[in-house]
A and B are shown apart, each in its own frame.
Chain A
């Protein structure tokens, strides 16, 4: 860190001034409503991300050196509040949240310069290649291999559950460079060109009927060794990296979003005259308690970080609370609607374009993706409560 930057950090911009400056920018440059035509949405989103980047309003937690804002945690919270308030499109792909922190911490200077700014500007979309058909919760058993040949790796195998894969330009992947039994000691973090020969992306139809996810097949795909992040066989350790507490900075917005959803459902029930029913009211009361506790947890986590740099135990369990809430509110909504809750969005009698039914189906993934609820409970039990590891399971 240079002396100049330290000085800049000490003479920090006051919160109100930062908020005002950001709000003014978001208002002046607001991209308006998304285009009706789905095919125009990608270029429209990319144009917005470029505008953010070009004016220095992208990457709140990223170093300035790579086009980020390098904000204090308090300002990151403000940033997320204002961006949510403005209702502007968010980042494309999962690279920004998942791959970037790893590259920022463990990438070589040349890699950071090559990859980070184009990712942040939305010019290049990064997608994830972690899960495999035979490696879900047991990710360290993954089988996609990368064989070293001179200055290249030759990649063979299959990844699955990749979101945004159809638009992806780069796949950040975990691949096996060790023996098949090497588990997490034989995994390497590799950045793969999604347009390279031998890469095949096949859309995967999920239970909602949509195509948000894809499978990716690698058939002798040649990847320059310079695209390896960190050392060979050291990828597992690098995969779960975050920049400080950046993920907690948006927790309040997430809470506000669920608050909105519940209020909308309450309004719907009120319009339909269903709030007079005591059982219905009690179900709402339960959701009301939970939605408020989601916010209290977020506030507690954020103030813990601000006061002592510690997110505390509430943050480790909040995802368990949120995912159950997401599922329960949508199922409750469908139940409230009765048979009308069964209608899809093309039915003329569908209520609110069938959003609750879609949500009911979509949120099946809430307790599966990014770690199943069962695995998460194990992790909390072992890492927060200190309960012993299951001797029947491979060591962590």
Chain B
């Protein structure tokens, strides 16, 4: 469905509105802990080896940055749900169907303070699941200079009622 075809659903899903989800300072310990479990490439687990790599310093796994976005996204769900009640039945959050155009634009280094945002972009009905829609969110992360360090689109199932 074109995003302008159902203004009530657009407003219920806050289409076009950017929500600041929160900020996080990435510390060496957590960078190494995540990487040791899921992405133990040398530039994510060792300061010394990171110096010899293309990155020059210890930096977070891109999947760590993405997972941290999700942490802040989920923390925003109660407020998102509450807000939707102004437009009728509250929305129901479903699982993600996928990610698109995930870009790690800049390394996230130790001590970087990263701010995460979400912007609902568009939605369409799912013929296979009556009442459910597939929502496309633009997901972004910025450093303290407001330079984007990561961006992707998340496709998520949402019961809009």
Q: Are A and B genuine complex partners?
A: no
